[in-house]
Amino acid sequence: MPTYEYVCTQCQTKFDVYATLAEKEQGLRPECPKCQSQETRQVFASFAMIGGSKGGTDFTMMPGCGPAAGPGCC
Ligand SMILES: [Zn+2]
């Protein structure tokens, strides 16, 4: 049985949900185990990976041309 990672939008608690594909197609609304809220959304791991690598690239391109840079910069 596949598992899905969900996060509660009320208290940010992450939890795993076990459901069949048929159950998910019928509109799965898992309940937060902590606050019993149904305001939950599925977590996709690839989103975090894309955001992390992009942020790192931006930072590495910044140094070398700031106020602290030596003569000859730019
Ligand atoms: Zn919650």
Q: What is the 3-state secondary structure (H, E, C) of 10-74?
A: CCCCEEEEECCHHHHHCCCCCCCCCCCCCCEEECCHHHHHHHHHHHHHHHHHCCCCCCCCCCCCC
- Tally the domains of the chain: 1
The CATH number of residue 21's host domain is 2.20.28
Q: Which pLDDT does position 34 carry in this prediction?
A: 97
Q: Which pLDDT does position 28 carry in this prediction?
A: 84
What domain range includes position 40?
3-47
Please check whether residue 53 lies inside any domain of the structure. Answer: no
Please check whether residue 24 lies inside any domain of the structure. Answer: yes
Please check whether residue 19 lies inside any domain of the structure. Answer: yes
More confident residue, 70 or 35: 35
pLDDT (tens digit, 9 = 90+) per residue, 11-55? 999 999 998 988 888 888 899 999 999 999 999 866 555 555 555
> Which residues place a Cβ less than 5 A from the ion ligand 1?
8, 10-11, 13, 32, 34-35, 37
Q: Which pLDDT does position 62 carry in this prediction?
A: 54
Distance (angstroms) between ligand 1 centre and the Cα of 41 equals: 11
